[in-house]
Each structure stands twice: as C-alpha cells, then as structure tokens.
Amino acid sequence: MNVIIKYVGKYAGALILVFGLYGCGGDEAGDNQSKSGKNTITTMISVATAERAPLRYWIETVGVLESINSPKIAAEVSGKITKILVKSGESVQAGEVLLIVDSSNLKLQEKAAKAELKQLSVLIENEAKRVKRLSDLDKKNYVSKSGLDDARAKLAGYKAQSEAAKANLSLAQDQLARTEIKAPFDAKIDSRLVSVGDYLRPGTPVFTLAETDRLQARLPVPEVAGGKLKSGQLVEITIATDTDNLVTSKIREIQPVITAGARSLILLADVTAANNRYPGATVRARVLIGENPDAVLVPAISIVRRPVGDVVYLISGNWAEQQVVQRGQSRDGKIEILSGLDGTEIIATDGAGFLTDGTNIRIAK
C-alpha cells in the first residue's frame, strides 16, 4: 500500500500537466469554428470554371459486320459431286465454276433427244414430200380426199413430235449446264457445306457466299430508344479488324420486329468495303439521337456523391459552398449538368471529394 501511494505521488505532477494541456487543446479545437459557423480547417484544391459548349447525344452499341448479300448456293440437279474447285475463304468471280456434279446421265438424255430430233426431221421431210405428191394428184382427182387428209395429219403429228423433241433437248442441255454450280456474283466463299462424293438433290445447300463489295453493320439498340431513332441518323462505327479508321454512316433501315431475347431493335447501316473489313467482324458504334447547342459542362472529377445527391462545390473567396446538380451525359472526361449551374461558376475539381459545405479552402498554384 505504501508502495502504491509513493508511485502515485511520484507521477502526480505529470498527470496534472497532461490534463492541463488537454484542456487547453479543447479550447483551440473550438476556435477552429469561426463565428460565422464555417470550418476554418484549410483544404487544398484545384478549380475549374463550368463552361457552355455544344453537346451531341449518342446511343452506344456493339454489333457485327455482315454482307448485305450472303446467300446459300444450292444444287439444282440431282447427282454425285465429282469436283469441288474452291475452298472456304477464297475470292471468286461472277460466273466462276465452284462445283461439278456428275453429268453422265444428262449427257445420255441429251444424246437421245438429239437422235430423236434427227429421226423426226427425216420423217417430216419424207412425209412432206408425200403430202405434196398427193396434193398434186388430188388436183387431177387421181387420189381420194381421205388419203390426202391422212398424210397431212401424219405430217402434223411428226412436227408436233419434233417440237416435243426440241423441248426435251433444251431441257437436257439446261440440266446439263446446271451440273456446274457457278458464283452468281463476286464474293468470298464463307463456308463449304458438302464434300466430293456427296449425292445432291435439287435444293441441297452447297456453299454460303459472302459478298464483300457491299457490307453493313447490324446494330442492336434497346427498345426504349425506338422513339428517338429514324432512318438517316448519323452512325459512327469502329470495326475490330480495322481500328485505324472511323467509319461514318447513316441508319439505312430499322427492322420492324423487336428481338425476343434481348428486347432490342436492329439498325442496319452501310459500310464501305475496304481491306481488313471482313463479314463477321465485331463493330462498336454510336448513333446520334440529339444535340444541345448550349450545354453546361463540368469536369467529371468535380461531381461528388453526397446524401442529398450529386453535388459540386462552388468556390467563393476562401470558402466552398455545396450545390446540388443533376447530371446528364458524359463526353471526353466532362459531364453535362442539366440543372443547378448556369455555366459561369468556379468549382472545385481535385480535392472536391474532401470538401463539405463551408470548408475553408486554398487553391493550389
């Protein structure tokens, strides 16, 4: 017990000194509030002036580059594939042969049609001579009328058979020509769907073509934007395989059906063909939907989130004053202010997040 009393007595002076200093510190903290109620603690910041400038409103989206014309080429005759002359990714010219179907049966049909036509030509020639001879005899009443009529009917029958034979020959030759499947226009082979030895029937797809001279961007946008869109609006497009060039286009078409899954409208915009622009490439695009010629803009760093909402801090002398604002769209590191500023105010930028209403500030040089 005596030891404790001695210990307390030894340090009693020090304890009195500490409490005395604490009391003095409390008075100084109280002095950090000015008589006007503003915080006198100084915060260093940088400032900028709100500005007025034209602002365009965009909808941004990601889509795909595709051929305007990309049909599936199908077989038009039955038969087994004997040759495939192109590969996927190759460029082809209009009229170039892509694939050959076995034509042996059609060649036989063509040969038979030609032989029949030749035979009928001989029969027609002979029967025509017979009709002429009987006509001459009929004028002298040397033959009966019925014999002449029979000869004329037989000649007409041969001529009808000849017309049918000609039609059969044309059909065989047409089918024979279709055993060579040709490119309908200049394009690239997107995909090959068959192999040598496959048996084709009319309508069997054999190739998918991609026309590279005419391209379009397919761009999905949210259905809620439908009322702001119309044909002819400006579209700016960046293609993943050609990032060095910004493509400027316009909405050519707005497809009339909303996609079921994504609930999107599909916009189509023409893209000029060029090197490094391939169907299937990803595209990033933005569509112009409006413009404000006199928008109020502030640096994005100046806007701070507080319980009352988005605020900026107006600088008046050495003090910061909180101002609630409504933000709009962003552009190049700046934010549009829809309400709360008139575009002439000096506002805090760097350091704005450390401010409260009435903070004493010092502007960094």
Whole-angstrom Cα distance, residue 219 to residue 287? 10
What is the average per-residue pLDDT within 142-160? 83
If pLDDT is split at 50, 70 and 90, which confidence band does 2 have?
very low
In sequence order, the 6+-apart residues with CB closer than 8 A to the CB of 84 are 98, 99, 192, 194, 195, 196
* Cα→Cα distances 101→38, 92, 142, 186, 201, Å: 92, 19, 60, 22, 10
pLDDT on residue 239: 96
Contact 267, 251 (CB under 8 A): yes
Contact 353, 299 (CB under 8 A): no
The strand pairing partners of 305, in sequence order, are 310
Beta strand 319-324 pairing with 309-316: antiparallel
SS3 sequence, 307-322?
A: CCEEEEEEEECCEEEE
Residue with tokens 């404000």: 292
pLDDT on residue 59: 92
Q: Is it the case that residue 41 has pLDDT exceeding 90?
A: no
Contact 81, 68 (CB under 8 A): no
What is the average per-residue pLDDT within 14-24? 35
Contact 277, 295 (CB under 8 A): no
pLDDT on residue 331: 86
Q: Is it the case that residue 35 has pLDDT exceeding 80?
A: no
pLDDT tens readout for residues 290-348: 999 999 999 999 999 999 999 999 999 899 999 999 999 888 899 999 999 999 999 99
In sequence order, the 6+-apart residues with CB closer than 8 A to the CB of 99 are 81, 83, 84, 85, 86, 180, 181, 194, 206, 207
Residue with tokens 């990032």: 243
pLDDT on residue 56: 92
pLDDT on residue 38: 54
Using DSSP, state whether 323 is helix, strand or coil. strand
Tell me the DSSP string of 52-95: EEEEEEEEEEEEEEEES--PEEE--S-EEEEEE---TT-EE-TT
* Average pLDDT taken over every residue of the chain: 86
Q: Which two tokens stand for residue 269?
A: 């915009």
Q: Which two tokens stand for residue 339?
A: 């309400």
Using DSSP, state whether 365 is helix, strand or coil. coil
Percent of the chain with pLDDT over 90: 64
Across 101-105, 129-133, 269-273, 284-288, least confident range: 129-133
In sequence order, the 6+-apart residues with CB closer than 8 A to the CB of 46 are 348, 349, 350, 351, 363, 364
pLDDT tens readout for residues 245-284: 999 999 999 998 888 777 899 999 999 988 888 888 999 9
pTM of the model: 0.61
